[in-house]
Chains A and B, each alone.
Chain A
Amino acid sequence: MKVTVDMDKCQDHGQCAIAAPVAFRMNDEGRLEYQGEASEEYRFEVEEAADVCPVQAILVGD
């Protein structure tokens, strides 16, 4: 599935990295790094990451 983060909205809260470490991580500078493509088996975690994003910056494709 396709994963997109609106980096203008992202404020590096890091909640996505807790919910779905398979797709999101916070680097040593505290900034978000993410995979634009995630395997379908991780859909639950990635949807969860989108849900818990405080600024709702994550878009999960079908």
Chain B
Amino acid sequence: MSSHIAVVGASLAGLRAAEQLRAAGHPGRITVYGEEPHPPYNRPPLSKELLGGDSADNAEALHARVAFRRRASVADVDFRLGTRVEQADLGSGTLHLADGSGASFDGLVAATGLRPRRLAAPGPRAGRHVLRTLEHCVALRDELTPGTSVVVVGGGFIGCEVAATALGRGCAVTVVEPTGAPMNRVLGPALAAAVQRHHEQAGIRFVTGPSVAAFDGRERVTGVHLTDGSALGADVVVESVGSVCNTEWLAGNPGIDRTDGVLTDNNLAVAGAERAVAVGDLARFPNPLFDDVPRRVEHWSIPTDTARRAATTLVAELVGEAPDAQPFAPIPSFWSDQLDLRLQSFGSPALADEVVVDEGDLDDLGHGLLATYYRDGRHVGSVAVNLPPARQRALREAFLSLPSPA
């Protein structure tokens, strides 16, 4: 009798997992459970095209523009949308759903991803936004009218994209980032400072150093108080301060490490469990491209890469075969469009202890720049700013020849 695989999470990672389970030859039932009401959709446009668009479309109408196509191979997959999984008992193979019903499974794919972290500072909630879903995007877009004062808390990639889009909508935009120049954790201080100068020239204001102490306002936010005693007026606040892993539904399964996402081995098999794999943003796996330290990777390419490997692992286990012996060593990559800049990253620049600008001028990012990132003298990442797409193949392939760590 063929087995039933439950995929918990119906975003990019969950969809790719279903496709890859079929590609890996799983003949049995597949059910994908998603908390959101929408079929799987592509999130990057939420901070860019969809947020910047001048339509008054609701979430449903916007969904049509970013929905992933459904391959014929997953036509028979049962997508249970608007269905939150409250708990999974891996020992008995049982899911407990929010509506009180249950479902049994033989194999499990954890694909529940992340939700935005909220600031704990006191003050009113109205006027404060996060950005992860279509509904978030619509709510924020409707408030980004020309002349609106927007404070973006958090100068990471999403925060900077939102700031750039808000500026394009005619808002007055300030980014508050406690740790220094925007995106400095990934880009390193010199390139981060260069991006800050570029964005400042376009009209985005940056406040680096302090964090948010409190929100002003009674019914609705009117500003933020910072930890250095200063204050900023704000009609709209966007909290872009990182994410929380959606792993609560796995609580109560002894042996699973949920300290940061879900710990897996290099094959994406959940450590401390059987017939369970994790994919996407919440899989914490070692990548031999860099070292043997398990890490979560919140890059757009990772759901697709991890789904392929995890599906192979799970299908092999269900039929009693050994997992793929080839090391799983995906090359992380992502891009970010901000104003007239396109940043593209290959590898893991955040691991670097040294950054070398190989090409271009830090004071003229618009005309193209290439930075190479090293750790202990070894190439671990590349960041390209406004380089032509024809160059990307070489940047990506630089990693295929990386020596394995000793």
Contact = CB atoms under 8 A, between A and B. Distances in A.
Interface of A: 11-15, 17-18, 26, 28, 30, 47, 50-52, 54-56, 59, 62
B124 interface: no
B333 to A, nearest CB: 8
Contacts of A59: 69
A18 B393 contact: yes
Interface in B381-398: 388-390, 392-393, 396
Interface string B266-307: 000000000000000000000000000000000011001000
A47 B389 CA distance: 20
B388 A17 contact: no
Given A11-B337, A54-B335, A62-B72, 18 more contacts: A13-B335, A13-B389, A14-B389, A14-B390, A14-B392, A17-B389, A26-B389, A26-B390, A30-B390, A47-B71, A50-B69, A51-B16, A52-B301, A52-B304, A55-B42, A55-B44, A56-B66, A59-B69
Interface centre among A18, A26, A51, A54 (most CB of B within 10 A): A51
A56 B12 CA distance: 12
B300 A54 contact: yes
Interface string B43-57: 011000000000000
Contacts of A52: 301, 304
Contact of A56 (B68, B335, B337): B68
A24 B28 CA distance: 35
B304 A56 contact: no
A12 B304 contact: no
17 contacts: A12-B389, A13-B335, A13-B389, A14-B390, A15-B392, A18-B392, A26-B389, A28-B390, A30-B388, A30-B389, A51-B16, A51-B304, A52-B301, A54-B335, A55-B45, A56-B42, A59-B69
B176 to A, nearest CB: 28
Nearest to B66: A56
Contacts of B388: 26, 30
A59 B337 CA distance: 23
Interface string B322-338: 00000000000001010
A24 B60 CA distance: 32
A28 B396 CA distance: 19
A56 B393 contact: no
Contacts of B69: 50, 56, 59
B303 to A, nearest CB: 10
A54 B389 contact: no
Contacts of A55: 42, 44-45
Interface string B133-151: 0000000000000000000
A58 to B, nearest CB: 9
Interface in B359-406: 388-390, 392-393, 396
Nearest to B390: A26
Contacts of B393: 17-18
Nearest to B300: A54
